Amino acid sequence: MTDPRRAERQWRALAVAMQMMVLVGGQEEAKEQECRRKANHHRLRKRRVGRPPKPLRRPRGREQSCMMRGQQAIKAAVIRGEEIPMGHVVTEEWPKQTSAISKPTRSWVKKRKEKEATKRYHQNKQARACRAEQVPSQNIAPQPEEKEQLASPPKHVQRRERAKQEREAKRLHGKPEREKRKREDDEHKADRQRERELRNAAAGTETRASPPRKRRARARPTGSPPLARGDQM
């Protein structure tokens, strides 16, 4: 470790510098949060009530932001000729569960874009209504030949309406075919029932026309004695 050209010493110097940057960045962030808390305390606005927003599972982003903030603070102190801040360390337990840097899911991004588009649509609509109220009515009166230009809804709303119209058109287009198929099935069932009734009627007529058959007595084997009444039972 005495040789400054060895890699171990360079890695140690980099680790110490990174630790100092993180500590100074954490101190700067704590000061900023304290100023923000005091400003919010004096403000007479209603606080947000409800569940806090879910994090995006990015624990390293906070460390990187603290490191960059500490690096900027140290550079500013060196340029101004001030004393380099030492920062402070807060003892905390090691995290029990770690998660890698992951991108947000596609569904979350899609929902966020749809919400932003809907929000912009309503904001623009409200702004147009406010502008229309501010302008005198004689200036904004539309001419008979002019067409009123309406803002189109967001794209996801247009896709939803288009899909709904396509399903409705498909349902109406297939309704006559379904009715025709149903009529054919009913006619086929009626024909089968009529054939079955005719077949049953023909079978009943043939049964009444043929005379009843006589049952022949079973021949008794020769040489066997006649059975007694008790044996027959």
pLDDT tens for each residue of 110-164: 999 999 999 999 999 988 888 888 876 555 555 555 455 556 777 888 888 889 8
Using an 8 Å Cβ cutoff, are 27 and 89 in contact? no
pLDDT for position 95? 63
Same domain, yes or no: 116 and 162: yes
- Residue 70 maps to a domain: yes
Q: Using 50, 70 and 90 to split pLDDT, how confident is the model at 169?
A: confident
Question: Highest mean pLDDT range out of 30-44, 84-98, 130-144?
Answer: 30-44
**Number of domains the chain is built from:** 2
Q: Using 50, 70 and 90 to split pLDDT, how confident is the model at 209?
A: low
Same domain, yes or no: 131 and 193: yes
- Residue 98 maps to a domain: no
- Residue 94 maps to a domain: no
Same domain, yes or no: 83 and 121: no
pLDDT for position 131? 86
- Residue 145 maps to a domain: no
Nearest to residue 67, comparing CAs of 31, 99, 20, 100? 20
Tell me the percentage of the chain whose pLDDT exceeds 90.
Answer: 8
- Residue 187 maps to a domain: yes
Question: Is the pLDDT at 17 greater than 70, yes or no?
Answer: yes
Residue 200's domain comprises 112-136+153-206
Using an 8 Å Cβ cutoff, are 56 and 104 in contact? yes
Distance of CA 72 to the CA centre of its chain: 41
SS3 content of the chain, % helix, strand, coil (to 5): 65, 0, 35
- Residue 202 maps to a domain: yes
- Residue 144 maps to a domain: no
- Residue 13 maps to a domain: yes
pTM of the predicted protein model: 0.32
Q: What secondary structure letter does DSSP report for 141?
A: P
